[in-house]
Structure 1
């Protein structure tokens, strides 16, 4: 018998999953954000992950009524798992989602979690909540599984359907059922993990590995800056070797790479092990914003520019290029550091939601065409718009077309920069 699928959480992860299934069967999509539900009903995805045509083709009933989950016997939970101010896991969204699902759970249902967590979280935290709220017994009346999300926001090549799906279940039979459900839509196939904990651990180390690789390159950038060597040129030369890993320096934010390692370190410390390499990498990456801001100030001093009252334009504030999400963006670290030096910072980003920027960071987003010429410009997030505009845009953005451009990710060709511009990059 075909499963009735329900998706809990319709963000970057949940919506593409709902659309994929919605193209072959009816899906119930639940989210507590009524504004989000209203826009999705109009085939509008303000995360830009799914276009209107795909939304229109999918048979999804969007709802903020949790009782509709009672119609479902295969529920996928895809809610955020952020960290708190102390860099510890904030399981609030996951707990509340489990309470909602548990209160509407029916016999013989399977609940699959996709949210990134530490090994053991699904069984130790989520499962007891489902049992308590439903009054049902796990492993008898209902079952759980875990299938880690692998969505890469803004990536139109590596999508939900084209990435191998890791699946796991409470029992081998449940794992096979979960594999069968996902296998119907994931063209790249599924991989059956031996246990839920293995699947949880596999996910959390994927982003931890990337975080550490980026931290290494960021540390090299710190060293090369002191040696006055261009990091991009070094990486270009090193990349000629077949097995060199092509990572680049930059800010590490967002709700995955900059967050997931803390879930692993939290769990490690709970069992008496204090991670050293992982946390060292986190410290390097978390401090890159301050380094970039300080380096810009040094460049300004070298050009005899006054620091107090100087004006700097920040191009981009989202956590990565070509996505509208500002959550955990590290661009704000540069803004804060420059403001402490007495610099006036103008932030612009056409993709970011101005209200969210004010709410999250207390920062006003100024429209691109309303920017006042500045002493320096930081190309913080290389959105396609800024790359397409190239060096010519700085004729208007810089005072008299002269000044400093900080190209954090080396997105523009340095050799093409006008002589009137001093270029600094990681």
Structure 2
């Protein structure tokens, strides 16, 4: 690998920033984001995602030869030869793939693309998206011909937000390229920073498909235990107890019930399903699993309503506190959080609902979801407390005091002492 090649990382979020930092330890890297505020914050060593090692960020920003330059200026990408796209790929309100950020990035790169350049996509897509959707945009804007003048690759991101153990370099990386020679070059590029090693897939489509099924598999398995939770609730059986007993068998897969949100498990299966349906096949297992998981927030809310009714509480105006709003524990990421489903369902019963999450960015939650969160000090009286996210900080709360004041406590994560809760998944 030519160490003098200059890389550009397009998108400095949960995926792009750690990638830019690692590559900048060995190459000259431009970290690009259209959000000028984000670029300014990073230049001041402030990372709202909490994914970056700030000491490493400071080191690569101040490096003299290689290192990282952060920019929101497209002209700064003109000298780059390898572009790695890490923009988000969400779903819309109808749960269809939203390729707008990906296609916008492709249009932008088409302006600066030159002969022999390589564009690598890391954003989660359905099989075929890179070559069927992105490449035509690159060709149209640049005027260059694919696999003649420029080349592409796909290497699915495997970032796990909030995980400080399984970090970027410690997770094996799947790579691919549009020609055998380019595939080898891309594989060597990633191998230069990924200590866990790489796996060179035989085609871009195979690499895209591998990412799609990784998360679809987890989604289906979680939907199974969520369905068990729905069944066992009717039997008055504690699902956690059942799973603990079943887990004594050596080959039992010990998944836990709960809310399934985030940028991967709650989104990626819809990408695979979309592509499948476009080819005339409706994926029954994938979509049934999605339906179960997408309805768990409503189940929690309605279970709470029934418990309040059983205690002769007046629902209209009852006060509820939801603990946690991020899509997972000890992480500020609120993308596709399913906690919002609990909130909306309780509000539909005219309840007063407060949300507290010491990790989530209050401004992001207010802008994206219209919720003004409260701080985690001096909680007032509540009729119900719902532990939605298992942040370690929530272990310190006085749940015994909540119960003494008459609050119902529902633990969706089986996180706190069962003697302190009235119900759990």
Task: Say yes or no: TM over 0.5.
Answer: yes
Q: Write the deviation string for residues 253-286 of structure 1: whole angstroms up to 9, x where unpaired.
A: 1111101111011100111101111100000000
> Is this contact kept in 1: 2:10–2:32, CA < 8 A?
yes
User: Which of 125, 136, 153 is the aligned partner of 1:117?
Assistant: 125
In the alignment, structure 1 residue 380 sits paired with structure 2 residue 388: yes
Displacement of 1:304 in angstroms is: 2.1
Displacement of 1:402 in angstroms is: 2.9
In the alignment, structure 1 residue 39 sits paired with structure 2 residue 41: yes
Q: How far apart in 2 are the matches of 1:40 and 1:232?
A: 42
Q: Which residue of 2 aligns with 1:16?
A: 18
Report the more deviating stretch, 45-54 or 212-221.
45-54
Question: Within 5 Å, which residues of 2 pair with 1:357-376?
Answer: 357-376=365-384
User: Which of 29, 32, 41 is the aligned partner of 1:30?
Assistant: 32
Task: In structure 2, list runs of 5 or more residues that go unmatched.
Answer: 61-66
Q: How far apart in 2 are the matches of 1:298 and 1:35?
A: 45
Report the more deviating stretch, 1-10 or 86-95.
1-10
Task: Identify if the C-alpha distance between structure 1 residues 234 and 138 changes in structure 2 by more than 3 Å, giving closer, same or farther.
Answer: same
Aligned partner of residue 345 in structure 1, secondary structure: strand
Q: Which residue of 1 aligns with 2:277?
A: 269
In the alignment, structure 1 residue 192 sits paired with structure 2 residue 194: no
Q: Which residue of 2 aligns with 1:329?
A: 337
In the alignment, structure 1 residue 343 sits paired with structure 2 residue 351: yes
Regions of 4+ moved over 6 Å:
none
Q: How far apart in 2 are the matches of 1:343 and 1:238?
A: 38
> Is this contact kept in 1: 2:10–2:87, CA < 8 A?
yes
Q: How far apart in 2 are the matches of 1:188 and 1:51?
A: 19
Q: How far apart in 2 are the matches of 1:217 and 1:225?
A: 12
User: Which of 192, 200, 213 is the aligned partner of 1:205?
Assistant: 213
User: Which of 219, 223, 227 is the aligned partner of 1:215?
Assistant: 223
Size of the aligned set, in residue pairs, is: 417
Q: Which residue of 2 aligns with 1:76?
A: 84
Q: How far apart in 2 are the matches of 1:9 and 1:313?
A: 35
Displacement of 1:82 in angstroms is: 0.4
Q: Write the deviation string for residues 310-358 of structure 1: whole angstroms up to 9, x where unpaired.
A: 1010111111111112121110110111111121111111211222212
Q: Write the deviation string for residues 354-378 of structure 1: whole angstroms up to 9, x where unpaired.
A: 2221221111101112532201100
> Is this contact kept in 1: 2:362–2:373, CA < 8 A?
yes
Q: Which residue of 1 aligns with 2:265?
A: 257
Q: How far apart in 1 are the matches of 2:168 and 2:405?
A: 44
Q: Write the deviation string for residues 115-171 of structure 1: whole angstroms up to 9, x where unpaired.
A: 000000000011011111111111111100000000011111111101110000001
> Is this contact kept in 2: 1:45–1:51, CA < 8 A?
no
Q: Which residue of 1 aligns with 2:108?
A: 100
Aligned partner of residue 71 in structure 1, secondary structure: coil
> Is this contact kept in 2: 1:309–1:342, CA < 8 A?
yes
> Is this contact kept in 1: 2:403–2:409, CA < 8 A?
no
Q: Which residue of 2 aligns with 1:168?
A: 176
TM-score of the superposition, structure 2-length normalised?
0.96
> Is this contact kept in 1: 2:121–2:155, CA < 8 A?
yes
TM-score of the superposition, structure 1-length normalised?
0.96
- What is the RMSD computed on CA atoms of the aligned residues? 1.2
Q: Which residue of 2 aligns with 1:234?
A: 242
Q: Which residue of 1 aligns with 2:417?
A: 413
